[in-house]
Structure 1
Amino acid sequence: MKTKFEETLYDRNKSNIYVHFWLLKAKSKRDNYLQLALAYKACLINADKSARPFYADSMIINARRTNDIELTASAYLTKGIVHYERMEHSKALDNYLKADQYASRTTKPILINKIKYGIAQIKYYLGFYDEAISLLQECVNYFREENDRAYLNSLHALGLAYMKIGKYDLASETNQLGIDQGKLFEDTSMECYFKHSEAINMCYKGNFKSAVKKLNQLVPDIIRIKDYGNESATYYYIGKAYWSLQQPDKAINYFKKVDRIFELKSYILPDLRSAYEYLIDYYKEKGDSRAQLRYINQLLKVDKLLAHDYKYLLKKIVKEYDTKELINAKNDIEDAILITRVTACIVVVLMAIIIIHLTHKNRRNKKLFEELMNRDTANHLVPFEATFDESEIDFQESTETDSKDKRARTISPDIEAAIVKNLEKFERNKKYLEYDMNLSKMAAILHTNSKYVTQVIAKHRGKGTIEYITELKLDYIVEMLKSDSRFRNYTHKALGEEAGFRTTQNFTRAFKSHTGITPSYFIYKLKKSINTDSST
């Protein structure tokens, strides 16, 4: 149920005169921070996109002065949405995360889920589709009973994310559910978007003729609502479908429309980038150097724009034309300089070295990952079958004093058995996860002295004390990553804290030293292997 204020705020028929009068009235009273924050939010909704960041900043300043946690969270969320609409995804995410910090201290689930939806959109555009799906599923479950439009928006975003990870049938089911639910709610405003998503899904499924037909039918509606983002995507997928149908002349006309929208709106997404690769290949085949050069220059502009907000996603996109190759091709066409055989040989040799190095590194990491997956990290505490060599302990028997020293440091069988029993209890209770666990703390927990602890661990675990504690911590984290999907979404900092490491750097350094691979690589391969298993 909306408050009277919210009904007024989101009534788009209210004139700018009313909104600015509200702002002036709020400014006329001293310390009237609540009304100022609300008035700036109303101004933002009625303002042009260019002015919205100013109103968003003013809204946050006054919301924070009220010390109202919920209002401050809402202000940061609104600013995040403003940046998202401006294609400033990094800034949008920063504000969503700030909003989440405040919202976590409230009891407003609707606010929390709106923030989740915003963060899910950013994760989607950065290419973290599995993480986006997890958040969107929570949004769908919550908004189903709370907010019809937010529910439909979440369904639409979820269908797109399913499509990106190759779950095309699930994407189709989600799109159809969205259409059916919209009719049930008597809200068909999202129907065009669900049909658009499904038409693109047909393209991914290889049903190119149907995709072309459906997408062409949707073009007038998309143009009417002035959604140039989806208009550009529509042209791209029509072009891609025609290209797959071996009709490059038709495809090129649609790829040119993608370029025209980029020229007019500076709008492009990583998914649409390959339109320029198709254009470059097409005109290269035609021998049209002038057109080829034009689209090389355009692709360089596209990469420059995408690099700011999509640097993480760009790493995941297979680019047939990287920046260096594009610049070389541009110079070749402009200057008409032939590449010498020596230069070509050097490039080939360097590329071969790089490929060999990367191949070796990939094989090594893959082998280490498989070894780690096969390692029994859940039951790693196997008694060490070594004979205790007293000569390794730092004392001599040459003097009477030394003999007394030896007797003082030799453990009786009963005491040794008691320490081993306490050591096993220490392992079962996961005491090693405590912060700054060291030799003196262990001695206190095991009810003995530091020298005895060192000797028992060396004899029964075959390790030094620090090495032993560190490996326990890391085996625990590895096992949790294998068995509990929640851990795979943790940051390195959170994983380190879970294992009792003082700093993130200590955790990542220890993980690499212990396993041979980084935590990021292990989690990436683990998610990939799980997704592969679930899709088969």
Structure 2
Amino acid sequence: MLFDQSKQLLDTLIKTAIEDNKNIEQPILIAKIYQLQAVNFLFLKDYQKSQIFLDKSNSYLHKNSQAVTYVKAENTIYQTNILVANKDYTKAKNILTKLRNTLDSGENIKFLQALISERLANCYFLENDYQSAIEELTKSLEVLGELPYLLLKNKIYDDLSKNYLAINDTDKFEFYNKRYLDLNQKITSNQKEGISYLIKITKDLEENNADEIQKKVRFNTFLVLGISLVLIGFLVVYFVVETQRTKGLKKQIVFLNQRHISSNKTSENIEIKPINNLDISKVDDEIVSKTNKNVRQLVIPIETQKEILEKLNQFEKSDLFLNNDLSLATLASHLETNTKYVSDIINSYKGKNYNAYVNELRINHIVSLLENDPSYLNYKVSYLAEKAGFSTHSLFAAVFKSVTGVSPNAFIKQLKA
């Protein structure tokens, strides 16, 4: 709703301040207004219109000044967000790297440099290259130093915690997750005040007729610039927050649909569903070729692949994955093979790395217990974490939300309703 209101406000600003007033001599202001409208469409997932408004913004950026360079760089970063949304990660990384190399090292540019590193890290994370993502995020924090860019710092803390979670580094996950939660609490009150102010501005403009709006805009174009800058700040916040919330809702719907398709829930027969289970008898050269279309070609003999997959399916039906001491090495030993074979098979056939694979099995197990045994709805989350084989409460909660789209408490509340 906020983005719809912002879009309507900007439609008015564009008409009254730009299209109906051809003599405006502030191209940087016009460029910022068009840029903000591009951000609106980016959030609304209308990437074609977002690109159109970015192009309009760039068309007003001709002068050679630091302000123009800054806005151009922002537009380029927004353009890479469109590429990422279309899963063109390689092109996005190339553009971001080139942009970083062309920027100066002045203090006014540090925010952009940090933002570029954060966006690069996002590309690496989506490609499952967690180590490269961590390197870029660490670089981003070093660039920011003590500068007061709290929103970006908080996003970096959150991203770091997710990457360390992906590689199962519990200590660093706990460290950055705590930093994220602490800083997020500090930011929340400021967000509420800003949103209230933004809504008030929108309502005030809507209550005036078009002639009055036009008169006010022409009388003081700096007021328009102030509104635009306020909107930019809070739209960036909402773009991050609402995008994460929407992803969580979508993930929850997908997770629940997968669990309940053709399911027959009974308390006597709790089924732990295998992940991406395969018909072992049909594993042949053609399937191997198709499975590895987007990853490196496996060099494991077909018969060995069949054997490991069959043992993995048996492993999924057992409760061995609930062992807190389970590691890739111990799993490989249990399957009577080596760690490289197990890792490659899981990546290629299960579509995820070892840690994500085991964590998803654990969460599915707990979800099955919650759904089928009402007594588990009354247990503390700390007990469920221990039952699932997680070392800490917070790690379990983070993994649970990453798999299901909601927190353990929210999931239990839904089942009780």
Q: Report which of the two structures shows the higher radius of gyration computed on alpha carbons.
A: 1
Higher relative contact order (CA 8 A, sep 6+): 2
TM-score category of the 2 structures, normalised to the smaller one: 0.3 to 0.5
- For normalisation by structure 1, the TM-score amounts to 0.35
